[in-house]
Chains A and B, each alone.
Chain A
Amino acid sequence: MSFNHIVIQNIVRDKCTYISYFLSSVFSILVFFFFLIIAFHPMMEAIDPNSTLGIVMILCSMIVYIFSFVFIIYSMLAFLKKKTKSLGVFIISGASTKQVQKMVFRENMLIAFTATITAIVVGLIVSPLFLMVVKNILEADSFGMYVPVQAIAMTFILFSVLFLIVSKITTRFIKKEEAVQLLKADVTQEKLIRPTPWRLLLSILVSAVLLLPLKVSPDVVESLGIVYIIMLFISLLMTIYIVLTQGIWLTIRRLQKSASYYKKTNMLFVSNLQAKGNSHAHVIYLLSILLLAVFVTTSVLYSSYYNVEENTEAVYPYSFQYISHPNNPIEKEQQDIEFMETTLEQTEGDVYAYQSAFKTDEDRRIGFLSNTHFNALGTHEAITLSDNEYYVVAGNAGVMPNTDTIQDYVDDPLQYVGLEERMILVSGFRAVYYVIPDAIYDALNYPEYHVFAYELKDWTEKRDVAEKIEAQLMTESGERYVSSKISLYVDELFVKRVIFFIGFMLSLIFLSAAMSILYFYLQTSLAGEKEKYLGMRKIGLSMKEMRVIVTRELSILIFVPFTIAAMLLFTVLFSIRDALSPAFFQMTTVGVGIILLLFTMSFFIIRKAYFKKLVE
Chain B
Amino acid sequence: MSDIILNVQQLHKDYVGEVNYKALKGIDFQLKRNEFVSVMGPSGSGKTTFLNCISTIDRPTNGSMTINQKDPYELNDEDLAKFRRSELGFVFQDFNLVHTLTVEENILLPLTLDAVNGKEMTSRLAEVVKFLGIEEIMKKRTFEISGGQKQRVAIARAVIHQPSLLLADEPTGNLDSKAANSVMTLFQSIHETFQTSLLMVTHDPYVASFAERVIFMQDGMLYNEIQKGDHKQQFYQEIVDTLTFLGGGYHEL
Task: Check A230 for interface membership: any CB of B closer than 8 A.
Answer: no
The stretch of A123-131, A237-245, A412-420, A537-545 that contacts the partner chain:
A537-545
Given known pairs A187-B143, A264-B115, A266-B112, the reply for A539 and B100 (CB within 8 Å) is: no
**In the complex, are the beta carbons of A265 and B101 less than 8 A apart?**
no
B109:A539 contact, CB within 8 angstroms: yes
The complex places the Cα of A542 from the Cα of B111 at a distance, in Å, of 14
Bound together, the chains give a CA A265 to CA B108 distance in angstroms of 12
Choice from B57, B90, B109, B158 contacting A267 with Cβ under 8 Å:
B109
In the complex the two chains form, what is the Cα distance from A274 to B100 in whole Å? 8
Within 8 A of A (CB), among B60-119: 77-78, 80-85, 88, 90, 92, 96-102, 105, 108-113, 115, 118
With A266-B112, A267-B109 already in contact, the answer to whether A538 and B81 are too (CB < 8 A) is no
Instruction: Check if B13 is an interface residue, CB within 8 A of chain A.
Output: no
Decide: A538 and B57 in contact? CB cutoff 8 A.
Answer: yes
Contacts of B96 in A (CB 8 A): 535, 538-539
Cα separation A266 to B96 with both chains bound (whole Å): 20
Q: How many residues of B contact A (CB 8 A)?
A: 35
Most buried by B among A185, A268, A540: A540
Contact A542 B108 (CB under 8 A): no
Whole-angstrom CA separation of A535 from B150 in the bound complex: 15
* A539, B110: Cβ atoms closer than 8 Å: yes
Q: How far is the CB of A615 from the nearest CB of chain B, in Å? A: 10
Contact with B along A527-548 (1 / 0, CB 8 A): 0000010011111111111000
Is there a chain A Cβ closer than 8 Å to B141's Cβ?
yes
Which residues from A are CB-within-8-Å of B101? Answer: 267-268, 271
Is B121 interfacial (CB 8 A cutoff)?
yes
Contact B84 A540 (CB under 8 A): yes
A-B interface contact total, Cβ < 8 Å: 86
Q: Please, could you name 10 A-B residue pairs with CB atoms under 8 Å apart, sorted by A?
A: A189-B99, A264-B115, A275-B99, A535-B92, A538-B57, A538-B90, A538-B92, A541-B81, A543-B77, A545-B113
Interface class of chain A by DSSP: helix
A262 pairs with B78, CB closer than 8 A: no
Residues of B within 8 A of A (CB): 55, 57, 77-78, 80-85, 88, 90, 92, 96-102, 105, 108-113, 115, 118, 121, 141-143, 157-158
Once A262-B121, A267-B101 are accepted as A-B contacts, the answer to whether A543 and B78 lie under 8 Å apart by CB is yes
* Nearest chain B CB to A397 CB, angstrom units: 61
Interface residues of A (CB under 8 A from B): 185, 187, 189, 262-268, 271-272, 274-276, 532, 535-545
Name 4 extra pairs, CB < 8 A, besides A532-B99, A542-B78, A543-B78.
Answer: A187-B142, A267-B105, A538-B92, A539-B84
What is the bound-complex CA distance between A262 and B105, given in angstroms?
A: 9
Instruction: Give the distance in Å from the alpha carbon of A267 to the alpha carbon of B105 in the complex.
Output: 8
Assuming the contacts A272-B100, A539-B90, asked whether A264 and B112 have C-beta atoms less than 8 A apart, the reply is yes
Q: Which 9 A-B pairs have the closest CB atoms?
A: A542-B81, A540-B85, A540-B84, A275-B100, A271-B100, A535-B96, A542-B78, A543-B77, A187-B99
> Which one of B55, B84, B142, B157 has the highest number of Cβ atoms from chain A below 10 Å of its Cβ?
B84
Which of B80, B85, B102 is A539 in contact with, Cβ under 8 Å?
B85
